[in-house]
Structure 1
Amino acid sequence: MNFIYFSTLAWDEADGAHNPTQIARALAQRGHMALFVEPQPSASRDSVNLPLRVVALTELGMSPMQLRRAWYGLDSGEMNHIAENLLQLICAWDAAPPRVAIFPAPFDPFVRLIPFLRAHNFSMVYYAMDDFAAAPALGYTQFATGAEEYLVRHSDVLCAVTSHIAQSLERFGKSAHVIPNAVDLKMWDTSSSLKGTSIERGELTLGFWGTLMDSMIDADLIAYVAQARPRWMIHLLGACDPEAHRPSIAARLEKFPNIFFHGAVPHAELPRYAAAFDVAVAPFPDNAFTRGRDPLKVYEYLAAHLPVVVSYAPQLAHVPYVFIAHSPAEFLQAVERAAPTPIDHRELDAFLEQQSWDARAEALLDILPTTTRRITSNTSATLLPTFANPNVETVMRYANALESELAQVQNWARALEQQAQQRTAFSGVKRLLPTRKTHS
């Protein structure tokens, strides 16, 4: 088969550990041709010796302004030239049928391409990574409700990473398969020779990695733990407060002397940090989005042979060595139970070996032959109009982002102007200084 994977995540985001990159790579490793479409060009595209190509929307002709507008939930504009460039890629690539387009999220520019893809013999797969019905309440403007409904109704195959998401998609009258996330075990060195990085340790040392923003972690829960157990050390790894309009995680937690921010850490360095932790934590907020997640970090924590404590995620109850809490007090108790729990490495490794990306790719391939729709020759190739339906808050957020970036540009311009003035003044002083004569 020949696949196009339309991803809202860059190929190299989290060093490529996320679902879209891993599934695309696993399909290519099985000999299937795969075209991975990302929003903007990633810095690294490690697809050597694989029938796989990575291309960005901006490389297909989408302007940065169009992409920015789409990300903020506004009209993504005219896209016919993007479709034409994509078709040229497909033809040059000799991607003969059967062709399959995979969508992990209802991103407006991608969903608008569905009639065009259908007209060129593509079947559609919606492999939902999150419960996007719950996303707008958390301020995620890039996922339009109308786009998801259209995507579900016009997909030949529906998949989801959790049963919660699969049940959510049933509101459209269609059933979905469940294919969870997985983990790449090759990067996890759990040998006794692995030395942990030098960090502040306490009676217990807790660790978290991931994006630090209010929709992803519960800052109040972390504050509760830090205050209740001042001798525990809590280490937070990841970009902090990447979206300025959201409540600041740093402002809420930086006053605690037992909480440490490490910033973004290369994925390859995570095993060294994990070796210094006693318990890995996932302090998720209590909302529907959390209950739909299948967090990659939990698989990675387990690959590091750490007990894991998560909040408000009952969907993980079947996972070994995962302790689930439904309140701050329960979270404390769960950490205290998890820390002394002996881990049977052989049992855990046997579980994790079944959670491979190759196994997930195989599960996806298994459901395609019997559910792929027959393509009709008279399907219209006209692109869909935008699904964007912005409200005042969305428009203001976009305007504020532009204003903030304009202020940055103005600051850079002033700094350059000052440097130029200083160089000019220095040159003037040099001209006034007497010239030294040299004697031969």
Structure 2
Amino acid sequence: MKEHALNKEAVLMKETAIMREAAFMKELIVFGEDYNRHPSSSQHTVNTLQHQFASIQWVNSIGLRKPSPSPRDLARIREKLRNALTAPPRRDDLPPPFPVIHPLVWPLAEHPLLRWFNQLSVRRQLARKRHLRVVWAALPSAVDYLDALQADVVIYYCGDDFSGLAGVDHLRVKQMEEHMAQRADLILCASPALVEKMGRLSPQKTHLLRHGVDFHRFAAPQPDPYPPAPSPTQGRYKIGFYGSLNQWLDQTLLCELAAARPEVDFHLIGRRDCDTPLLDACDNIKFHPPVPHQHLAQYVQHWDAAILPFVDNAQIRACDPLKLREYLAAGCPVISSNFPAARQYPCLVSVATSQQDWLDAIDAFCHLSQQHRLQYRKTARQHMVNESWEMRGEAVLILINNILEEKQTCLPEFSII
């Protein structure tokens, strides 16, 4: 009897191992932004899922705008050609943990021949399909590739209101997004506004997935990268922002704040994606080149306050900036323009609705006592510790498994290795 029980247990263990091995035979293809160009929410989320799939392949941005002859677009085309034809230049960022491909495609192609060329360009660089194929599409334009790639499960990750993006062919993108909503098995939205928008197209498939934060990276104490002040009385206050300098940045507001507070230096870290004539004229606005993501914490932790000085438009009202939670995880006080995502943390984020509100908040945070600054840091980090990307990845995996169970298969339980 004992021997029979042992044999039965061994058979059960073998069957379980076979089932788990079969469950693991899934592959993931990601259509996202250029990997490591801006660490995106898709990049953070997929990184937490890398041990849940037999393989992951990342397709760098296939675009949402038809290129123009502008200097900025021409430079982007040169960058795309260089990455597609040669090994991309080494960066200080961590290397991708999976293959990244750089397809040559014509964005938003409408002619059948161009669409065929685009599909061929992507398909020829991807490994041959071996398992059930899950596609994570962070761009609605990825809908043109789903059939060519034999997608079994489609996840549409809606992280932006693409109808509000400058320079985008809004009608074409709207059509693609409607098609994607029909084709997707699961729609994940980064904000309630996007849930409302996509819910009108496909309510049963649509779920809220707020952004997370690399908590331990931003909370771990970092050395001060700024030169020491000649004396305690000669140090200047530091207000900071990082991210691309684009049309959604309120340049007029920043110039007014800089003029009103000449004793404060406003540090802007990031690539200039638009002209900044107003900011260039302000002596106490300091520009810095982009900083690798893993080094940003050492700057934020040594600012007197971090800012989100955005204009009021549809894109901002629908966004949930990654940097908001990173600022808070770093323990840095935050001042923001008035938009929904900034109102998530009323005790931590000072939402300013006028220039005087901005100046009052800047004065308050620049003159925080050491005791109050430490208390703010402790409270902010307590809020952020439960908003990690790992927790977001676990939520995504549960939703994926719900879809896969309907297809008579599932992924293994979530694990971080």
Calculate the TM-score normalised by the size of structure 2: 0.73
**Counterpart in the other structure of 2:29:** 4
- Percent identical pairs in the alignment equals 23
1:163 to 1:199, Cα distance in 2 relative to 1, 3 A: farther
Q: How does 1:71-150 map to 2 (within 5 A)?
A: 78-84=114-120, 86-87=122-123, 92=128, 94=130, 96-97=131-132, 99-107=133-141, 110-117=142-149, 120-135=150-165, 138-141=166-169, 144-150=173-179
Larger-gyration structure (1/2): 1
- Which amino acid is the alignment partner of residue 288 of structure 1? A
1:311, distance to aligned residue in structure 2 (A)? 0.6
1:38, distance to aligned residue in structure 2 (A)? 0.5
Q: Does 1:209 align with 2:242?
A: yes
**In structure 2, distance between residues paired with 1:125 and 1:177:** 11
Moved more, 263-272 or 361-370: 263-272
Q: How does 1:7-406 map to 2 (within 5 A)?
A: 7=32, 9-14=33-38, 17-39=39-61, 40=80, 41=83, 42-43=88-89, 52-58=98-104, 62=105, 66-67=106-107, 70=108, 78-84=114-120, 86-87=122-123, 92=128, 94=130, 96-97=131-132, 99-107=133-141, 110-117=142-149, 120-135=150-165, 138-141=166-169, 144-174=173-203, 176-188=206-218, 190-191=220-221, 194-198=223-227, 204-215=237-248, 217-240=249-272, 242-243=273-274, 248-249=275-276, 251-319=277-345, 321-339=348-366, 340=368, 342=373, 343-371=375-403
**In structure 1, distance between residues paired with 2:351 and 2:265:** 20
1:244-282 CA-to-partner distances (Å, cap 9, x unmatched) read xxxx22x11122221111232333432332243100011
Moved more, 18-27 or 80-89: 80-89
**In structure 2, distance between residues paired with 1:270 and 1:145:** 35
**In structure 2, distance between residues paired with 1:121 and 1:203:** 55
**In structure 1, distance between residues paired with 2:212 and 2:111:** 34
CA contact (8 A) 2:154 2:184 kept: yes
1:55, distance to aligned residue in structure 2 (A)? 1.3
The number of equivalent residue pairs is: 344
**In structure 1, distance between residues paired with 2:290 and 2:341:** 28
CA contact (8 A) 1:197 1:272 kept: no
* 3-state DSSP of counterpart to 1:309: strand
**In structure 1, distance between residues paired with 2:362 and 2:384:** 22
**In structure 1, distance between residues paired with 2:180 and 2:405:** 14
CA contact (8 A) 2:327 2:333 kept: yes
1:321, distance to aligned residue in structure 2 (A)? 1.8
RMSD over aligned Cα atoms: 3.0
Moved more, 288-297 or 225-234: 225-234
1:364-393 CA-to-partner distances (Å, cap 9, x unmatched) read 111123346978xxxxxxxxxxxxxxxxxx
1:92, distance to aligned residue in structure 2 (A)? 3.3
Calculate the TM-score normalised by the size of structure 1: 0.70
CA contact (8 A) 2:335 2:361 kept: yes
**In structure 1, distance between residues paired with 2:402 and 2:180:** 19
1:34 to 1:202, Cα distance in 2 relative to 1, 3 A: same
* 3-state DSSP of counterpart to 2:184: coil
**In structure 1, distance between residues paired with 2:288 and 2:110:** 34
1:189, distance to aligned residue in structure 2 (A)? 5.9
**In structure 2, distance between residues paired with 1:35 and 1:203:** 47
1:85 to 1:210, Cα distance in 2 relative to 1, 3 A: closer
**In structure 1, distance between residues paired with 2:42 and 2:359:** 34
1:229 to 1:365, Cα distance in 2 relative to 1, 3 A: same
